[in-house]
Structure 1
């Protein structure tokens, strides 16, 4: 009798386990396919060298002109490593919104909806595999450049342990926003303008060009109040200048931003699915 009662529970757990294995398989295939073109990803990462080198030379000149050893707690060495950390995340973003836009327009979305997997989770696994490969290669290239220009970093072990968590949440926020932008293809003829606006706002107000502490007022207060800092500035600062209070605020900001992004994605996705059904798939 006990075996009969436990059997449905085990089968239910097995079904959930098998369901998640599908997305793990998609993640592995995405990683493998991107590693097959690792040299292409590497040459794309060379853009990081150009950007970090130019920005680092500008900041070195600024430090020398002002005769300062630090600006708002950032030395030139920590500032260069900050730029590498922020640019590594920023330049690892794949063309997610463009791919979703294309799938909506050519009807591939309707085909993928017929597969035995969730369309959003399928794309998240594919996106995560692609972005992880880019993130690792960008990080290796950027760290090599920073070692040459600025020397060894002064990372704390707390920052190293916290960085993967806050970076993963930042990647999830990016996914929810850019996936939502791609779904706008159901209503607009062009979605890349929305993606460009969001990416530029993230680059400027997200602290990729300089830490938020260096921004003049009132731009600093405005940038800190906006969710863009949760994507780039927060993870990069956690790695360089770990602070438990700042980490708690960052995690709260990331969770709230991710929650809003997921609600937006879910709402757009449900409405889009109805339109696919109305149009006969």
Structure 2
């Protein structure tokens, strides 16, 4: 009898847990949906922002064309000029899709609005993550559309493998999540700093230079190449872009391990900062 009661209680607990998870998932999916619709309402603004990618890729392409000409070779470190153009498009599409997350968190903290947002029946971190994903996905897709048209004109049809095309959405999604953790953590530093935009600027520049957005990391001289590949920035831009252009199963496995470790460690640091920050709000009577 007692065994049957314990089994029934366990089944009821599992059912309630599943229901809570399902409702919570639907709640954040609704936030994601609203964020996408809000950004689609201003699609022309997103379009004109994406035109910056055309300028950057065109300038970088001219630089690399000259470099290939001076080098006297059609292939440089395993990349042809066509591969380089598609790599630049993939990297710039991710880099230029970053929304002003740090600035928004910074303003909410400094204005005191955070104290009211914490009272919502939703996790502040997950709410911002869903909102961030909706905004970033719209920007990313627009960048991919415009960048692909430019690359088709300048480099022709790409020679992507089906494995690379299937793997890219996964590694790109993890890269966007790592970027969220990085910039959300920087935004929370507003609890201790008057202004966090300087930290955000440093992080974005490090990501651009050491993340491989200007060139694949194979081009870098040693030991800078090894240092850049070991840093988490390469998991955001270089890894996904190279997976798309030059797919290798062994490199994909190493990239996924690097991304997952970076995401786990970054999430732990972010949540630690968040808990300390929320405690400061409670102590100050916010």
Query: Same fold by TM-score, threshold 0.5 exceeded?
Result: yes
Instruction: State the 1:4 CA deviation.
Output: 6.3
Alignment of 1:70 onto 2:70: no
2:167 to 162, 166, 172: 162
- Structure 2 vs 1, CA of residues 273 and 164 (structure 1 numbering), >3 Å: closer, same or farther? same
Give the aligned partner of residue 55 of structure 1: 60
Alignment of 1:200 onto 2:205: yes
Q: Give runs of aligned pairs for residues 8-23 of structure 1, distance below 5 A.
A: 8-23=13-28
- Superposed CA offset, 1:176-197 (max 9, x none): 0100000000000110101110
Alignment of 1:101 onto 2:101: no
With normalisation by structure 2, the TM-score equals: 0.96
Q: Give runs of aligned pairs for residues 129-140 of structure 1, distance below 5 A.
A: 129-140=134-145
With normalisation by structure 1, the TM-score equals: 0.97
Say which SS state the counterpart of residue 92 (structure 1) adopts.
Answer: coil
Q: CA RMSD in A?
A: 1.3
Instruction: State the 1:8 CA deviation.
Output: 4.6
Give the aligned partner of residue 229 of structure 2: 224
Query: C-alpha separation between the residues in 2 aligned to 1:8 and 1:209?
Result: 52
Say which SS state the counterpart of residue 114 (structure 1) adopts.
Answer: coil
Q: Give runs of aligned pairs for residues 18-57 of structure 1, distance below 5 A.
A: 18-57=23-62
Query: C-alpha separation between the residues in 1 aligned to 2:261 and 2:24?
Result: 28
2:258 to 253, 259, 265: 253
Runs (4 or more) in structure 1 with deviation over 3 Å come to: 1-9
Query: C-alpha separation between the residues in 1 aligned to 2:37 and 2:221?
Result: 44
Alignment of 1:147 onto 2:138: no
Query: C-alpha separation between the residues in 1 aligned to 2:25 and 2:283?
Result: 30
Query: C-alpha separation between the residues in 2 aligned to 1:84 and 1:106?
Result: 38
Q: Which runs of 5+ in 1 are unaligned?
A: none
Query: C-alpha separation between the residues in 2 aligned to 1:4 and 1:73?
Result: 62
Q: Which runs of 5+ in 2 are unaligned?
A: none
Count of aligned pairs between the two proteins: 281
Query: C-alpha separation between the residues in 1 aligned to 2:66 and 2:14?
Result: 66
Alignment of 1:119 onto 2:124: yes
Instruction: State the 1:209 CA deviation.
Output: 0.2
Query: C-alpha separation between the residues in 2 aligned to 1:251 and 1:19?
Result: 27
Query: C-alpha separation between the residues in 2 aligned to 1:13 and 1:224?
Result: 40
- Structure 2 vs 1, CA of residues 8 and 264 (structure 1 numbering), >3 Å: closer, same or farther? closer
Query: C-alpha separation between the residues in 2 aligned to 1:181 and 1:8?
Result: 38
Say which SS state the counterpart of residue 213 (structure 2) adopts.
Answer: coil
Instruction: State the 1:10 CA deviation.
Output: 2.4
